[in-house]
Structure 1
Amino acid sequence: MLNLAELLSLSGLAVTFLNSDHNHRRLLQYTDVSARFAQYPGFQFQTISDGLAADHPRSGLRLMEMFDAMSSNSRPLLKDLLVESRQPVNCIIGDGIMGWVIDVADEVKIPVIHFRTIGACCFWIYFCIPEVIRAKELPMRVSSISELGIVLKNEEKEDMDRLITTVPGMETFLRLRDLPSSCRVSDNTTNLGFQLFMNETQRSLRVNALILNTFEELEEPILSQIRTKFSNIYTIGPLHLHLKTRLIGSNTTTSFNQSSNSFWEVDRSCIAWLDKQPPRSVIYVSFGSIATLTREQLMEFWHGLVNSKQRFLWVIRPDSLVGLDRERESLEEERGYIVGWAPQEEVLAHRAVGGFLTHSGWNSTLESVVAGQPMICWPCFGDQRVNSRFVGEVWKLGLDMKDHVCDRKVVKNMVNDLMVERREEFVKSTDRMAKLATKSVSDGGFSSYNLNRLIEHIRLMNVRAQDK
């Protein structure tokens, strides 16, 4: 969202970035966003409450509490802000998973554009879920779920490799195990998480346009399917690369490597460590900003990395594991380096890095694509299961580890496959996709063209609002 806001600000649009009080405090604590956006005269930050207590963890495991609180608490606050705004608001770009923004916009008669921060592949699956249910390919025959897996009923077994044939464009490779984690329920009529993602995606049919952080060369077959339902789509990604490309041609003072949109304190000591390592010798390990590990999982990854004999840089957030601080010293190893948070884009672009062991979040996936880094995908929840399938099976940019238990032997073998045995194979495919990403955001590329179209679309809304 911040990357998109800066791209629009660069074009001369007046942008108000509305964030929760909690998130904005985190940004101010760990980033330079205030100084960075001060160079855009038409830009301003505003905040509203998300309705949660200050000590609420706001974690992925308590996602529904966050959505419920925002829907009930933030909805009236947003309406008041729009009504009382001194500067006329001609367009709202809303996170597409918060459909209640459409209701508020309808009340105050302001057009809405949805921005979905997941990939086109997962968006399309969410959109097609009603048809999957009608075809009786869902719900799953399960009794309960855990964060990273499922527990099957004793009397019936589910074939997790069963193909899902009712998502157009994915009939030949999308398996039950590849569906988003919200689909891992035995009763789709009562599970609130399942209903949320399905219903909110359907509500995007009501908006003025749809923005996706992807590029045509990466997801064109799926984008073609989405366009059968949505006539006005703007594919303008990868946003972080698009922003960097346009900043180079402007007079702004942003330092690409020093800037951050992180909710965690960046430890830049890892860059000095990487500077001392041979080219493409380090595998970078990070499971994102939300996922947590059990102690058993952490130790299996640690043993697998150590036994692979490869160098590794591992991000272990302060909240990744309860009691981690007492164990951090025991995890130190001569070939490895551990930090609480890393400047990921800079790390992935470093000459010493040769692979990425990732949770397959969409931002991490795109950042790896842009940097030309092959991936080992260990998805945790949400859209990550879909992304990992596309990385491994469709785009051939790495290995999908979700088919395996978290085991040190599996980790060791996959790290060696990625970094040694199949290295040339993956380097060839990742280099090709990285070049296509760069081409897309350059002058004449599809993403660059679509961003220009989006900017003109918003300006036209402004003209129409003034005419009224």
Structure 2
Amino acid sequence: MVSPLHIGVLAFPFGTHAAPLLTLVQRLAASAPWIQFSFFNTSASNDKIFNAHVSGSYDNIKVYNVWDGTSEGFFGSHFEAVGLFLKASPGNFEKVIGEAEEETGLEICCFISDAFLWFACDLADRKGVPWVAFWTAASCSLSAHVYTQEIVKAGGLSSTETAEEETTVSFVPGLEMVRFSDLPPEIFLDKNPSPFALTINIMVQKLPQSTAVVLNSFEEIDPVITNDLKSKFQHFLNIGPSILSSPTPTSPDDKTGCLSWLEKQSRPKSVIYISFGSVVTPPENELVALAEALETCKFPFLWSLKDHAKKSLPEGFLNRTIAFGKIVPWAPQLQVLGHKSVGLFVTHCGWNSILESICGSVPMICRPFFGDQKLNGRMVEDSWKIGVRIKGGVFTKNETIEVLNNMMSGEEGKKVRENIYQLKEKAVNAVDFEGSSTKNFKKLLEIIGGPKCDKKLV
């Protein structure tokens, strides 16, 4: 009989961080049913992701709630909530970890955490167990953070702020097309001394001590970056895209009717899908510019837009576009991007959205807002060539009309579509039986549970 093992999983409960980590844990739990997983996360995040992302029962995953650092009735901003959570950590996790060990009667023998939660390194070190860090973004952004010292030093050599922003990061392998202005602001701690920026900078120092760094990506999207980062860490394991390696259950579409609306579209690849993620809504002037461009072009569109933002749209816009447009407060994005009618994705350029776009073979128009989104947008346009960025970084009516027409019916759109088809093929090959991501997942199983896990891979 295999001895039971107990693995502690520490989630970062903001944005789209916790759901990909849960997907990873579900895949591990199915492949190694004798391992007990304790999933530590805030109650609000647990409620959200377990309602939306769990299919079937996992007897070897136990969910625990940790304090989010806020007091009752807290109504602060997203960024204030992040700061309070980080201030409460790691004490909030340590308390519940002790409860989980007592309840299961098993000492934790490995920690898997969101890479942001660098203190998992210290928890693992005290116990003398492995620490596996899960980086939920792309390898390009991880590389940018790994090279923080070199980037800051090089930036200091620029004579003016403008020159610094337009200088390329040519000294970082694989980021030769990236400019300083594209980089996540958290790299420049002296200009951005937030709790989150401090957390990321400490993470950069801790990651080389990890047993493995795991990504929901595939090596072939960035071979140069992949090879460079393999030299930085004990194990650097791309195990995705999870959409292809471990498909999630379909989301119900009863309330919004997005999929039934898409089914009624007469031509394939004719619909523009628009979504900017769960955190940010574009400012009013940009919403107006985008709406006016959509109305002018008259391409069919499906727009995921929160109800409170609808008041910013031009007067009468909803009635004038009802024949070819649909606006919903939420859309089952993965299924939308996989639908034959969708031909273009207007996105904030978060990593999960990019992966879903690649797997659906849908080109992108990128309007980034914060974090790694500008860097992702640069890679989408100049390195991977699977989309374009909005000129000037903001929506204006005329520029948006031009880019919509180019991408939907111009030569540029055809070339980009060919590129994203080819990149999807690489992703599909990566998760095949002998693909790079499959081999990396087997290595991860060995790390967390020994050689027996490899034999029981499902």
Provide the TM-score with structure 2 as the length reference: 0.85
CA distance in 2: counterparts of 1:373 and 1:454, whole angstroms: 30
Q: CA deviation at 1:338?
A: 0.5
CA distance in 1: counterparts of 2:275 and 2:369, whole angstroms: 12
> Residue 51 of structure 1: which of 62, 65, 69 is its match?
69
> Residue 276 of structure 1: which of 258, 264, 283 is its match?
264
1:112-163: CA deviation from partner (whole Å, max 9, x where unpaired): 100010110000101101111223448996xxxxxxxxxxxxxx65553222
Change (3 A) 1:279 1:412: same
* Residue identity in the other structure for 2:302: L
1:218-262: CA deviation from partner (whole Å, max 9, x where unpaired): 121111111121131111011122102xxxxxxxxx7x3237xxx
Q: Which residue of 2 aligns with 1:258?
A: 251
Change (3 A) 1:405 1:327: closer
Q: Which residue of 2 aligns with 1:124?
A: 143
Change (3 A) 1:26 1:355: same
Which ranges of structure 1 fall in alignment gaps of 5 or more residues? 142-155, 245-253, 260-264, 464-468
Residue aligned with 1:284, SS: strand
Q: Which residue of 2 aligns with 1:250?
A: none
Q: Which residue of 1 aligns with 2:217?
A: 214
Q: Which residue of 2 aligns with 1:173?
A: 177
Q: Does 1:294 align with 2:314?
A: no
1:281-323: CA deviation from partner (whole Å, max 9, x where unpaired): 001100011112222221111112222221111001246x4x7
Q: Answer yes or no: is the 8 Å Cα contact 2:430–2:438 preserved in 1.
A: yes
Q: Answer yes or no: is the 8 Å Cα contact 1:113–1:210 preserved in 2.
A: yes
Residue aligned with 1:197, SS: helix
Q: Which residue of 2 aligns with 1:182?
A: 186
Superposed, which structure 2 residues align to 1:298-313 within 5 Å? 298-313=287-302
CA distance in 2: counterparts of 1:328 and 1:48, whole angstroms: 45
Q: Does 1:2 align with 2:60?
A: no
CA distance in 2: counterparts of 1:87 and 1:223, whole angstroms: 39
Q: Which residue of 1 aligns with 2:227?
A: 224
* Residue identity in the other structure for 2:111: I
Q: Answer yes or no: is the 8 Å Cα contact 1:379–1:388 preserved in 2.
A: yes
* Residue identity in the other structure for 1:412: I
CA distance in 1: counterparts of 2:279 and 2:213, whole angstroms: 26
1:78-105: CA deviation from partner (whole Å, max 9, x where unpaired): 4423543424222111000111222233
Q: Does 1:234 align with 2:222?
A: no
Q: Which residue of 2 aligns with 1:420?
A: 409
Q: CA deviation at 1:217?
A: 1.1
Q: Which residue of 2 aligns with 1:410?
A: 399
CA distance in 1: counterparts of 2:85 and 2:157, whole angstroms: 24
Superposed, which structure 2 residues align to 1:44-443 within 5 Å? 44-56=62-74, 60-62=78-80, 64-71=82-89, 73-81=91-99, 83-88=101-106, 89-137=108-156, 157=162, 160-170=165-175, 172-183=176-187, 187-188=190-191, 190-244=193-247, 256-258=249-251, 267-277=255-265, 278-318=267-307, 321=309, 324=311, 330-332=317-319, 333=321, 334-401=323-390, 403-421=392-410, 422-443=412-433
Q: CA deviation at 1:201?
A: 2.4
* Residue identity in the other structure for 1:279: P
CA distance in 1: counterparts of 2:193 and 2:256, whole angstroms: 46
Change (3 A) 1:138 1:311: farther
Q: CA deviation at 1:266?
A: 8.0
CA distance in 1: counterparts of 2:155 and 2:74, whole angstroms: 38
Provide the TM-score with structure 1 as the length reference: 0.83
* Residue identity in the other structure for 2:168: L
Q: Which residue of 1 aligns with 2:43?
A: 21
Q: CA deviation at 1:64?
A: 4.5
* Residue identity in the other structure for 1:118: A
Q: CA deviation at 1:331?
A: 3.5
Which ranges of structure 2 fall in alignment gaps of 5 or more residues? 1-20, 454-458
CA distance in 2: counterparts of 1:107 and 1:288, whole angstroms: 38
CA distance in 2: counterparts of 1:131 and 1:51, whole angstroms: 34
- Same amino acid, percent of matched pairs: 29
Residue aligned with 1:31, SS: helix
CA distance in 2: counterparts of 1:226 and 1:32, whole angstroms: 30
CA distance in 2: counterparts of 1:81 and 1:329, whole angstroms: 56
Q: Which moved more, 1:43-52 or 1:367-376?
A: 43-52
CA distance in 2: counterparts of 1:54 and 1:308, whole angstroms: 48
Q: Answer yes or no: is the 8 Å Cα contact 1:318–1:340 preserved in 2.
A: yes
Q: Which residue of 2 aligns with 1:144?
A: none
Q: Answer yes or no: is the 8 Å Cα contact 1:130–1:198 preserved in 2.
A: no
Q: Answer yes or no: is the 8 Å Cα contact 1:283–1:312 preserved in 2.
A: yes
Q: Answer yes or no: is the 8 Å Cα contact 1:238–1:437 preserved in 2.
A: yes
